């Protein structure tokens, strides 16, 4: 009779689980820098979350340009890569596209999702969303000990991203077409990569907001734990 370990191994072998696991990337940090000396753990978490949220927005811009090449052509760009470089520089230097007519954060998001918007909708939408996120973080993308973040504003930012993703998926332009081609489900294809990337941004914002709401309480608990530890967990002499 087969022993239990062998019985357990057979289904795994049938599923191909005995082969070496494939590499699917790795956890990503940042190179060490002098600025870390004036960052708390919370500052570092917020900085890395902002980095990843802006990266997610640029990935969404790339995906949207691939499915909607007319947008970068409408802006007079020579190609998709040039349009992405221009968008990244605009976010970095806080210089909104002319099509947004000077609007910022949620006002710019609303304009970029209007059915009759005539400019490069990808650049306008992604820039406006990035500006909204940065505004919710006090106008910064990197944080130190002197910075404070308001959890409610981060929560609001997450809800704004949810609303924007829903409008992008459901609203139609004046010709009755989707504002931008994004996720698609049909008989031949099931592409939900846009929804997943929006979900990552929302998840990071909500996690940071929840963490910040508990920070003061956890600090008090940590203080009590340190007092108890000092009293009950001291090493005793053995000779």
Instruction: Read off the pLDDT of residues 138-195 as tens digits, 9 standing for 90 and up.
Output: 999 989 877 889 999 999 999 999 999 999 989 999 889 999 988 666 556 566 788 8
Tell me the sheet residues that pair with 172.
178
Q: Supply the pTM of this predicted model.
A: 0.79
Give the C-alpha separation, 189 to 235, whole Å: 64
pLDDT value at 5 more than 60? no
Instruction: Read off the pLDDT of residues 52-62 as tens digits, 9 standing for 90 and up.
Output: 999 999 999 99
Instruction: Read off the pLDDT of residues 112-121 as tens digits, 9 standing for 90 and up.
Output: 999 999 999 9
pLDDT value at 19 more than 60? no
Amino acid 181: pLDDT: 86
The terminus-to-terminus CA distance of the chain in angstroms comes to 57
**Around Cβ 101, how many Cβ atoms within 10 Å?**
12
Whether residue 212 contacts residue 42, with contact meaning beta carbons closer than 8 Å, is answered with yes
Instruction: Read off the pLDDT of residues 191-226 as tens digits, 9 standing for 90 and up.
Output: 678 889 999 999 999 999 999 988 766 655 655 556
Contacts of 195 (CB under 8 A, 6+ apart): 165, 169, 183
**Torsional class of 117: left (φ above 0), alpha (ψ -120 to 50), beta (otherwise):** beta
Please report the sign of the dihedral spanned by the C-alpha atoms of residue 94, residue 95, residue 99, residue 100: positive
By CB atoms closer than 10 A (0-12, 13-18, 19+), residue 169 is middle
pLDDT value at 80 more than 60? yes
Give the C-alpha separation, 103 to 87, whole Å: 16
Amino acid 8: pLDDT: 47
| Confidence category of residue 100, pLDDT binned at 50, 70, 90 | very high
């Amino acid at each position: 009779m087969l022993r239990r370990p062998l019985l357990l191994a057979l289904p795994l072998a049938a599923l191909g689980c005995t082969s070496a696991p494939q590499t699917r990337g790795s956890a990503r940090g940042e190179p060490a820098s002098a600025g870390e000396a004036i960052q708390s753990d919370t500052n570092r978490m917020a900085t890395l979350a902002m980095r990843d949220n802006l990266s997610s927005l640029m990935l969404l811009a790339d995906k949207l340009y691939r499915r909607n090449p007319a947008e970068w052509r409408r802006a007079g760009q020579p190609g998709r890569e040039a349009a992405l470089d221009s968008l990244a520089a605009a976010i970095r230097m806080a210089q909104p596209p002319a099509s947004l007519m000077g609007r910022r954060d949620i006002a710019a998001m609303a304009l970029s999702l209007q059915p009759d918007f005539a400019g490069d909708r990808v650049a306008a939408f992604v820039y406006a969303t990035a500006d909204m996120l940065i505004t919710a973080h006090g106008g910064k993308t990197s944080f130190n000990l002197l910075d404070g973040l308001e959890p409610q504003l981060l929560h609001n930012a997450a809800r704004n991203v949810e609303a924007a993703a829903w409008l992008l998926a459901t609203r139609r332009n004046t010709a009755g077409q989707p504002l931008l081609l994004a996720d698609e489900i049909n008989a031949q294809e099931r592409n939900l990569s846009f929804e997943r990337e929006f979900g990552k941004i929302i998840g990071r914002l909500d996690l940071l907001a929840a963490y910040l709401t508990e920070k003061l309480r956890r600090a008090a608990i940590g203080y009590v734990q340190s007092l108890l530890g000092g009293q009950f967990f001291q090493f005793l002499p053995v000779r």
